[in-house]
């Protein structure tokens, strides 16, 4: 015991100081507490809104770099992390499952942890990581070989390490874990390999599994080491045995709605992409809908039971996934709502009590696969815009090619939108692109791509692909849009100072006016931005940070768009900016 304490003490001394523990109350209060950033989404509602107004429309032009930090090595590629800031330390994750602790005043490294990744990992969409979680004395993060790791926040030493699932079957993990009431809640990635999406909760102290909820109908849940309940009703919406490799990856992680005590996760595409293989005679009564793929799911955090679901794309056939983040907010009339912008091109407003549909509007132009949504939010399909059935082709090998918009990378992909409590609007990073897509025969093989589809992404417009849109959730109106040549792939942040921060693949870190979309400030970071901005306050000065490092799914899967942006250079930096006190009052 004494030897253990001595070893821990020595390690803490070596790393510097022991920093304050993080409690559930700290996490619950994260949005309001301006001195730290403790959660993915800057609050578990994922609003990405800061109450800080020290930095504002008048003085943002005086925002200057404070320090920059290199993630180093030859391991660059996409840097999609959201930093955390706690008690003088910034925690970031990097590509290839790395974690860093940095002195937040000076930018000096305190410790670094590199996960040893096995040969043969199967990340579908770059070797990225989207951030860590902090709770107690630990930092939690997931790895590309589908593990969840707890590190001591002061030393970087491993506290525990658990397997989420089998990386050889295509499982991986890239999201920031979510901590709720002492549980570490994770999803999983691998929807392109016929994995089964699930949400899992572990004891934060020990890493022991508390519950597991598969999100595809027919699979059995788990609670305290025992089978709990089956997800859905076997074969209600899936034909035959297709549910066994049914996809529905929960790869973005979730949000936590404290007001209704609900975890909200999205479930990705049903597998395989070829929807004709999952067709149980779809007739708008639910047969062939393939629940709960392409859905948002409300889950009881203490038991893992499903409380409600809302499916955005029944019998999904374009890889629109349906996994996008769900933001809890209160609208101008004081009503509790969720908003989510789906890869399928529609922006949905849902009721927070039961997930029921309130309204939905397009947030991109040129949606081709549906003509709109009915009163329940179910899409009104344009069936001739579904990729053709290969068994109907003369050779039985390639179905009719169609051009569908948006592309499978989505009207919006993983990159999180932000809500402003100041304006009541959402700020949605979107892309205007489509694809040629066709279906092919496919059979499941462990660890092999399970698509049954081919595709080529194409820009819809000559002068832009990316567009950041300000959307009024009460009316669906687009208040303004900011166009960008390359596809947007970074998170968005709003502030009480009236600013909207985001980055571009061209490397610019930008602040816009939240009411007009006018560009008020920008800084060239040297590589493409696919990270997530944060802001906090220290010693009366406001700071802003963002990761820079081009990568992600676009260069790998972007077809003609990938060729258009192949001049962009990789990187791996954290840039931290501040508004010096002496410049805060200068206009």
Residues that bind Ca ion (CB under 5 A): 30, 33, 36, 191, 268-269, 319, 321
H or E stretch covering 27: helix 24-28
Q: Taking the complex as a whole, how short is the minimal distance between the CB of residue 518 and Ca ion, in angstroms?
A: 28
Sorted by sequence, the CB contacts under 8 Å of residue 353 that are 6+ apart come out as: 260, 336
| CB closer to Ca ion out of 36 and 506 | 36
Nearer to Ca ion, 39 or 56 (CB): 39
- As a whole number of angstroms, the distance between CA 100 and CA 107 comes to 11
Looking at beta carbons only, is 89 or 468 nearer to Ca ion?
Answer: 89
Residues 347/428, Cβ–Cβ less than 8 Å: yes
Contact 188, 171 (CB under 8 A): yes
Angle at 314 between CA 312 and CA 320, to 5 degrees: 60
* Nearest partner of 346 among 317, 311, 306, 315, judged by Cα: 311
By beta-carbon distance, which residue lies closest to Ca ion?
A: 33
Q: What is the 8-class DSSP label of residue 14?
A: H
Count Cα neighbours of 374 within 13 Å in the Cβ-side half-sphere: 9
Q: Which residues contact 161 (CB under 8 A, 6 or more apart)?
A: 147, 148, 149, 150, 207
Q: How far is the CB of 320 from Ca ion (least distance, A)?
A: 8
Neighbours of 95 (CB within 10 A): 25
Residue 534 to residue 495: CA distance in whole angstroms: 10
Q: Is 13 helix (H, G, I), strand (E, B) or coil?
A: helix
**Shortest reach from residue 84's CB to Ca ion, in Å:** 10
**Contact residues for 85 (Cβ-Cβ < 8 A; gap 6+):** 36, 37, 91, 104, 534, 536, 545
User: 33 or 570: whose CB is closer to Ca ion?
Assistant: 33
Tokens found for residue 399: 């179905």
CA distances from 61 to 64, 80, 544, 578, 586 (A): 8, 26, 13, 11, 10
In DSSP terms, 455 is beta-bridged to 437
319 annotated active-site: yes
Closest approach, Cβ 448 to Ca ion, in A, equals 15
- Taking the complex as a whole, the smallest distance from the CB of residue 535 to Ca ion amounts, in Å, to 10
User: What DSSP line would sit under 536-557, residue for residue?
Assistant: EEETTEEEEEEEE---SHHHHH
Return the number of the residue (217 or 537) whose C-beta is nearest Ca ion.
Answer: 537
C-alpha dist (Å) from residue 467 to 151, 403, 441, 525? 38, 21, 36, 20
Give the tokens for residue 412. Answer: 């919006």
Report in angstroms how near the CB of residue 178 gets to Ca ion at its nearest: 16
Please pick, among 137, 319, 342, 514, the residue that the annotation labels catalytic: 319
CB of 485 to Ca ion, least distance (A): 26
**Residue 102 beta carbon to Ca ion: minimum distance, rounded to whole angstroms:** 18
Catalytic residues: 319
């Amino acid at each position: 015991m004494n030897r253990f304490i001595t070893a821990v003490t020595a390690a803490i001394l070596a790393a510097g100081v022991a920093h304050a523990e993080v409690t559930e109350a700290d996490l619950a209060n994260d949005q309001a507490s301006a001195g730290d950033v403790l959660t993915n989404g800057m609050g578990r509602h994922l609003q990405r809104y800061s109450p800080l107004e020290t930095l504002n429309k008048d003085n943002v032009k005086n925002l200057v770099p404070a320090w920059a930090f290199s993630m180093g090595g030859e391991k660059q590629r996409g840097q999609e992390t959201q930093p955390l800031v706690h008690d003088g330390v910034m925690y970031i994750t990097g590509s290839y499952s790395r974690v860093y602790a940095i002195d937040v005043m000076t930018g000096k490294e305190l410790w670094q942890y590199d996960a040893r990744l096995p040969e043969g990992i199967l990340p579908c969409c770059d070797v990225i990581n989207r951030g860590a979680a902090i709770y107690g004395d630990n930092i939690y993060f997931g790895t590309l070989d589908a593990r969840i790791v707890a590190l001591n926040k002061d030393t970087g030493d491993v506290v525990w390490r658990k397997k989420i699932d089998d990386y050889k079957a295509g499982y991986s993990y890239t999201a920031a874990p979510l901590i709720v009431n002492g549980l570490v809640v994770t999803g999983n990635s691998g929807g392109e390999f016929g994995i089964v999406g699930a949400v899992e909760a572990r004891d934060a102290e020990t890493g022991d599994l508390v519950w597991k909820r598969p999100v595809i109908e027919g699979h059995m849940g788990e609670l305290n080491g025992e089978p709990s309940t089956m997800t859905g009703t076997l074969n209600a919406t899936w034909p035959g045995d297709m549910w066994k490799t049914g996809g529905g990856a929960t790869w973005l992680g979730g949000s936590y709605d404290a007001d209704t005590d609900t975890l909200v996760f999205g479930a990705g595409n049903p597998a395989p992409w070829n929807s004709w293989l999952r067709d149980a005679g779809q007739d708008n009564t639910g047969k062939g809908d393939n629940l709960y793929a392409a859905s948002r799911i409300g889950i009881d955090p203490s038991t893992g039971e499903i409380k409600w679901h809302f499916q955005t794309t029944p019998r999904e056939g374009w890889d629109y996934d349906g996994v996008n983040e769900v933001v809890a907010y209160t609208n101008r009339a004081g009503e509790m709502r969720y908003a989510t912008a789906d890869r399928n091109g529609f922006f949905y407003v849902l009721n927070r009590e039961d997930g029921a549909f309130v309204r939905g509007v397009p947030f991109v132009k040129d949606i081709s696969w549906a003509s709109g949504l009915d009163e329940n939010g179910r899409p009104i399909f344009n069936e001739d815009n579904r990729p053709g059935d290969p068994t109907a082709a003369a050779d039985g090998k390639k179905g009719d090619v169609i051009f569908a918009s948006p592309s499978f990378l989505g009207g919006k992909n993983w990159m999180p939108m932000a809500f402003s409590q100041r304006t009541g609007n959402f700020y949605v990073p979107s892309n205007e692109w489509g694809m040629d897509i066709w279906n092919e025969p496919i059979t499941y093989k462990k660890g092999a791509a399970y698509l049954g589809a081919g595709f080529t992404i194409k820009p819809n417009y000559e002068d832009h692909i990316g567009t950041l849109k300000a959307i009024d959730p009460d009316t669906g109106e687009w208040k303004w849009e900011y166009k960008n040549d390359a596809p947007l792939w970074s998170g968005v942040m709003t502030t009480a100072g009236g600013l909207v921060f985001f980055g571009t693949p061209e490397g610019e870190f930008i602040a816009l006016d939240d009411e007009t979309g006018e560009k008020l400030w920008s800084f060239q970071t040297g590589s493409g931005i696919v990270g997530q901005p944060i802001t906090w306050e220290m010693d009366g000065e406001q700071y802003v940070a963002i990761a820079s490092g081009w990568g992600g799914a676009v260069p790998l899967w972007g077809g003609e768009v990938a060729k258009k942006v192949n001049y962009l250079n990789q990187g791996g930096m954290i840039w931290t900016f501040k508004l010096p006190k002496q410049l805060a009052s200068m206009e």
